[in-house]
A and B are shown apart, each in its own frame.
Chain A
């Protein structure tokens, strides 16, 4: 089964319709189409492969359970991605991985630094680096930079002050920058 972005709209609609009716073959096909991208999302949030696998599993259970609530407006992948992000957040909360540390990162601006050689880094390496960030900073970074949440929304979702969200993001940026440079210097 090709990945979701390669399936035509009509085929996807037919697939979703069959999944709603409980067609197990259709559900397997949708899983095959969606899972590679969603697993990458889970890896970014989880910090390790085992947790990412659990999040992926729970996320798909929720996707199939809530399929009736997908109205058809907007991208299906976007709708599913939101579910996986929420599932990841729940998983992290359950494991107490979202407890915000007290240290506040200095608000160092990256503008004075030399350009980061991101072009030389593959996405797999980058995902690995993001996964190795502290869980609180990693979560805020993923939600803000990749998912596009605002600090207000992140603060509401995580139950933290907006200022904490900003400081965690900055900390993640700085740490990621340093890890990328270190990786390049080791090559």
Chain B
């Protein structure tokens, strides 16, 4: 009899075998089930608290921007004239919002610096118990959910276009390089036109202007942009869970090798990924009337649920690593937290009345500051935090469009195609599907 024949006979005899169950087992199961159900309820609120925390932080940023006391003062309206004087400045009622640019051809940004806070949360829930999860073997269309995006333009100090130092930008100073009239009765610079046309040529210098005898050059107030935006992710070509097991960090046990360090390994099968959640603060600096550079700080939250094994490895007396504890679970939770710095170039290729269209492209470097596993195994829950080395690089490009729908309201849409490079990062939706589309959309209020 061969080994195979022996195995087959054994299996045929025992695989469907039954045995009388001892007394008292059901009572133990019933008690244990109640205890496990109580523990499960505690997991979900933690997730919701974290999600709620992100919402609260974003709302706090919005409120802070809205309630931040802006600089008061009159608007300076600059008009072109045919007279020898270069420009006439008329002070207006500070309570009446007046656009700074009266020239229809005036182009360029309202301010030389903007501060942007962007929050891009995940999609709407797909099930009642795990709201932000979707199976890796299902194609998912892009979804939108509420988010908050805050954009705060810089406020310049005075009509001579000295740039507000608090915006951190001193680019595109309209005053530099322009002839300054010694005539004390006039403002020597065409403020709005200079911003649009000469910012590219003029280095950033803060130059003063002769005082206007008819009106005091008050501070020019830039409109404050507050944006509410919704965003979501579209996934191209989902991969199976078995493919995802090969991506990301492969912790012990690695194939054909015993574990040599403590870690979590992913078994084959279905993996559930949560949609990425991102919140950030940024600033945009115009280097020319159409070209601007943006940077800032982003926080991203990634989540997955999978089956696998946690192996705790220690050195034996002989010095070789050995597994001292192993917990296998069908449901392992992994949350990952990234801090990133994006750098993006924007180019406004269309600026016409209510419409502004732009393209943008750039990259981001992110560091995983925390990767945490929760492994429920039987009657215990193991918590493990892994150290992640290296960084996550990504590049992205896209187009954007904003449309002014009313005097104070603009609507914008910013789809971005983003690719995440392979690196020694924990397995996540990014490693399974490195090419993703982010869609940021929302409303921008001018105050």
Contact = CB atoms under 8 A, between A and B. Distances in A.
A76 interface: no
Contacts of B18: 3, 36-37, 39-40
A126 B255 contact: no
Contact of B378 (A56, A90, A110, A113): A90
A35 interface: yes
A184 interface: no
B22 A53 contact: yes
Contacts of A43: 19
Contacts of B129: 68
Contacts of A72: none
Contacts of A144: 7
A146 B10 contact: yes
Given A61-B29, A145-B7, A37 B323 contact: no
Interface stretch (B175-183, B223-231, B324-332, B356-364): B324-332
A26 interface: no
Interface in B1-29: 1-3, 6-7, 9-11, 13-22, 25-26, 28-29
Interface in A51-102: 53, 56-58, 60-62, 64-66, 68-69, 83, 86-87, 89-91, 93, 98
Contacts of A3: 18
B410 interface: no
Contacts of B10: 118, 126, 145-146, 176
B3 to A, nearest CB: 6
Contacts of B336: none
Interface of B: 1-3, 6-7, 9-11, 13-22, 25-26, 28-30, 32-33, 35-37, 40, 129, 252-253, 255-259, 265, 267, 309, 311, 323, 325-331, 377-379
Instruction: Across the A-B interface, give the 5 residue pairs with the lowest CB-CB distance, nearest first.
Output: A36-B18, A61-B32, A40-B17, A60-B29, A57-B28
6 contacts: A36-B18, A39-B19, A61-B29, A61-B379, A62-B378, A86-B328
Given A27-B33, A60-B29, 18 more contacts: A31-B26, A37-B18, A64-B29, A86-B328, A89-B326, A90-B377, A93-B325, A111-B3, A118-B10, A124-B17, A127-B14, A130-B14, A156-B253, A159-B259, A161-B257, A170-B3, A173-B6, A177-B6
